[in-house]
Structure 1
Amino acid sequence: MRHDYTLEVMRPACHVSFDVTEASQVGEVRRAAVRIAEGLDFDESAAGRVALVVTELGNNLVRHAQRGRLLVAAVTNDSGAMVVEILSLDHGPGIANTLMCMTDGYSTGGTPGTGLGAVQRLSDEFDVFSRTAAGTVILSRVAARLTHVSGAAPGDSATPSAFSVAGVALAAPGEIVCGDAWSVVRHDDRAALLVADGLGHGPYAAEASVAATDVFERMPFAGPSGVIEKVHEGLRATRGAAVAMADIDSNDEVVLFSGAGNIVGRLISGIEDRSLMSQHGTAGMQIGRLQDVRYEWPSHAILVMHSDGLTTRWKLEDAVEILQHHPALIAGWLIRDHCRGRDDATVVVLKRRTA
């Protein structure tokens, strides 16, 4: 029996990635994004906003960026509504003054200069982070009805939850489903997050990872090691998965963590970067004795969990200001720079809403 918790589940759908280096590619992304919007029953006006956002961001990549791409997906926002998420990623040259670039009429390329300002107005949630020479990540989320309030901080919503969470999941090259899955359950000042990476990739890997989230959602606050033990039992008929889970209490400022396999967990505060320990093994096949490990959650820290589709030795020291931004923006920055590009890749970021 499912408990009455606030759920944010990103499974098994993944973000679709499009390289955008020439103008002809923008139309392909726009059509894909509109199909996603129509699948969410967006009306013509809302689907039109999605199309305009993709067009503005895509044209911006073509005109100004190096190695640009757009990621598009249907996701659940912090208020529980389904929205179309568009992430724009590039590797330079970066934006020297993001506030000025948001001003209508400002342009560095001889265009009307309404791109980013228009994207912000069309978006329910909008955020941007850029470093000169390092590149830019832009987030736009478009809902069925425009609720964006001018001047609101990125990611503001009416939810009473103490946490904001977002993730990016990409299927392995040549696959149409992602073999990873993740789920987060939030209730007042508690949150539980599970990330699973089915062995291999493709539909059978997705079957294993989705089975793991099914078990988790039936007992999200039973303790990480206890949940993973049940996941282990529930995955015996599948090919198995690497699984890790975190249980976070905002009042006590602690994280309980347990895992089997190569799901990476890290707590990052800008001052300290701490890895969370998992056991060897594969849920559904063989795992060792699990235990819950308790970690202090420093002020302003974020929790990052990701599959082995990302490299493990990444750092945010050169972009520490991004910790103050929307979790989806952080996830996009990490996937941009550290995706191995040969397997499914998932990264999830959870932070306090006041952080």
Structure 2
Amino acid sequence: MDALSPEREDTWLRMEDPSAIGSARRIATALAEDRRFGEEHAGQVAVAVSEAASNLVKHATMGTMLVRPHPSSRESIEVISIDHGPGMADTVGPIRDGYSTAGTLGIGLGAITRLSDAYDIYSRPGKGTVLTMRFTAKNAPPAESRSCGLYRPVGDEIVSGDAFAVEDTGRTVTAVMCDGLGHGVAAAEASREAVRVFREDPEGTPLAIVERVHRALGHTRGGALAVVHVDRTTGSVRYAGVGNISGWICHYEGRQGMTSVPGIAGHKARSLREFQYDLPPHGVVVLHSDGLTERWDLAAYPGLLTHTSPVIAGTLLRDSAIRRDDACVLAIRTEP
């Protein structure tokens, strides 16, 4: 069973000046060495991350980068690069040797794709680019990327009041998301407690887990809470929620919202209920806190659902986390 949950606070680097390139490279190298990548492999990681970081500093608008241990593998590193422009109409051509894209984000993509063990890229002209890379130690099994959660704290806060966790068996996946009331340390205590209780018994139904977490959060300030269970073999989704976590089933024709009941987990939650939904072929389940607006429209992202979960989550975080609040988004693919 793969467990997906951050072991520490994710740190997003603002790629605004050349010094940020060195910071990203040092973080990536340290992670590679910690995972015993070997000197040559660690050097390849450093080159690929430096290329991506340099692209952001030189050519992007509002570029950010996340370099972290892969949440579902202790032998892998995940890199997520996000920017708001200028974007590219062609993401295939720049990968070919000898392709010239002077002055654009395409520079260095060939090296990035050759040096990483897995990558994905989604770009729209005038909208920006999301690039993800994965590096895995030699002879280690590849890390799964069917689920990806991303979060960031509001403003200058050092911790996020939002948290998530995922248990993925391959056939089924169960996930929890909690948005602690307010933000800062007290909100983080509530959301981390929700994750802890979920971890104790992630095999229950969404309703049973929500009821258990609701009781456990009584000594905290509480928050919004949702639990989803996806069965990839039967094509069904079960969902239970309290408060304003947004749950969506996304497919090529649009999206369907999932129902939460009003209240605050840990304090006021009446008539807790579980709902069941059909999961369309190739569907993607998305959960997000109210730090993301609900007004995103899949029609604005042609082909996005064919991409990996890190690219889907990164794109939604970039474009929809526009409120002054902690933000968290989780994307669950039903297929590799």
Report if the CA contact (8 A) 1:185-1:192 is conserved: yes
Which structure 1 residue ranges, 5 or more long, are not aligned? Answer: 1-5, 149-156
Runs of 5+ consecutive residues of structure 2 not aligned to the other structure: none
Is 1:76 the counterpart of 2:60? The answer is no
CA drift of 1:327 comes to 0.2
Superposition TM-score, scaled by structure 2 size: 0.91
Task: Note if contact 1:14-1:168 (Cα within 8 Å) is conserved in structure 2.
Answer: no
Distance (whole Å) between structure 1 residues aligned to residue 102 and residue 300 of structure 2: 28
Residue 22 of structure 1 deviates from its aligned partner by 3.0
SS of the residue corresponding to residue 236 of structure 1 reads: helix
The letter of the residue matching 1:90 is D
Q: Percent identity over the alignment?
A: 38
Give yes or no for the alignment of 1:258 onto 2:251: no
Residue 82 of structure 1: CA displacement? 4.3
Residue 130 in structure 1 maps to residue 123 in structure 2: yes
Structure 2 equivalent of residue 152 of structure 1: none
Instruction: Give a deviation string over 1:15-73, Cα, whole Å, max 9, x none.
Output: 32222233232222323333444555554444433322221011112333222221222
| Residues 37-46 or 113-122, more deviating | 37-46
Count of matched residue positions in the alignment of Structure 1 and Structure 2: 335
Q: Which amino acid aligns with 2:122?
A: F
Rounded to whole Å, the distance in 2 between the matches of 1:133 and 1:81 is 36
Equivalent residue in structure 2 for 1:178, among 160, 176, 186: 160
How far apart, CA to CA, are the structure 1 residues paired with 2:147 and 2:172? 13
Matched AA of 1:86: V
Question: Does 1:285 find its partner at 2:257?
Answer: no
Q: Deviations over 1:108-159 (max 9, x none)?
A: 2179x871111112212200111122221100122233879xxxxxxxx587
* Cα gap change, 1:205 to 1:172, in 2 (>3 Å): same
1:174-209 deviation line (CA, Å, top 9, x unaligned): 122222111111224221111111122223222211
Check 1:252–1:70 CA distance in 2 against 1; reply closer, same or farther (3 A cut).
Answer: same
Q: Secondary structure at the match of 2:89?
A: coil
Higher mean alpha-carbon deviation, 297-306 vs 175-184, is at: 175-184
Distance, in Å, in 2 between the alignment partners of 1:122 and 1:147 is 16
Shift in alpha-carbon separation, 1:68–1:225, aligned structure 2, 3 A:
same
Q: Is the 8 A contact 2:254 2:298 kept in 1?
A: no
Moved more, 220-229 or 13-22: 13-22
Partner secondary structure for residue 147 of structure 2 = strand
Following the alignment from structure 1 to structure 2, what is the Cα–Cα distance between the partners of residues 146 and 341? Answer: 43
Give the Cα separation in 1 of the matches to 2:314 and 2:330: 10
Q: 1:222 aligned to 2:222?
A: no
Q: Kindly state the Cα deviation for residue 227 of structure 1 after the two structures are TM-superposed.
A: 0.7
